[in-house]
């Protein structure tokens, strides 16, 4: 079997053909589609991140319906992020790629999503990625950058003994 990277349109059609009996996309569908069609590459990798589990699909893909997954798949695939950057955003519950562009460009993604001790950062009770997506999805870049810098610069310096 020849392997190749699918287009967004091909994956969109395949998702629509492989829905659960209740009309939703099943978590893990990326592996199933990739194996059946011999697909690989960014589109499949991003789909795998989006469809890891139902909870993640609910916030990251906008829902579990095929059209919701497909529309957000295009947005995440078109984002400028590496897969490692996408994983960091996903781990912190970010659901909109736009406010992360300026954060990544300024080298602040890891400091935004992780505390100095390596644990996931929470802001006002929610994970930092969700906070950024919720509070700054439509903000200007300078406002996003200022808010993130205020947040990460408030971190205490790690002590030399810890």
With pLDDT > 90 as the criterion, what percentage of the chain qualifies? 64
Residue 161 has pLDDT above 60, yes or no: no
Give which of 47, 21, 54 is closest to 32, Cα–Cα: 47
Are 20 and 54 contained in the same domain?
yes
Last residue of a domain, one of 37, 62, 78: 78
48 burial type by CB count under 10 A (0-12 exposed, 13-18 middle, 19+ buried): middle
Residue 158 lies in a domain: no
Strands, DSSP E only, in 91-162? 122-123, 126-127
Residue 157 has pLDDT above 70, yes or no: no
Are 87 and 145 contained in the same domain?
yes
Are 132 and 71 contained in the same domain?
no
Phi, psi of 19 (to 5 degrees): -105, 155
CB 131, CB 103: distance < 8 Å: no
Give residue 132's domain range: 83-153
Q: What is the mean pLDDT of residues 11-36?
A: 89
Are 70 and 87 contained in the same domain?
no
Q: Which two tokens stand for residue 44?
A: 């499949």
Dump pLDDT digits (tens) for 25-56.
888 899 999 999 999 999 999 999 988 888 88
Are 87 and 149 contained in the same domain?
yes
């Amino acid at each position: 079997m020849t392997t190749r990277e699918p287009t967004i349109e091909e994956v969109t059609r395949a998702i629509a053909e492989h829905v659960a009996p209740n009309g939703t996309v099943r978590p893990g569908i990326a592996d199933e589609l990739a194996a059946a069609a011999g697909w690989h590459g960014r589109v499949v990798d991003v789909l795998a991140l989006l469809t890891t589990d139902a909870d993640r699909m609910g916030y990251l893909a906008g829902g579990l319906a095929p059209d919701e997954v497909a529309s957000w798949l295009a947005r995440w695939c078109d984002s400028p992020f590496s897969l490692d950057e996408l994983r960091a955003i996903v781990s912190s519950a970010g659901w909109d790629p736009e406010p992360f562009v300026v954060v990544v460009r300024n080298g602040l993604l890891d400091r935004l999503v992780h505390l100095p001790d390596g644990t996931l950062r929470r802001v006002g009770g929610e994970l930092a990625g969700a906070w950024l997506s919720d509070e700054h999805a439509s903000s200007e870049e300078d406002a996003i950058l200022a808010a993130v810098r205020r947040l990460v610069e408030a971190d205490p310096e790690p002590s030399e003994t810890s």
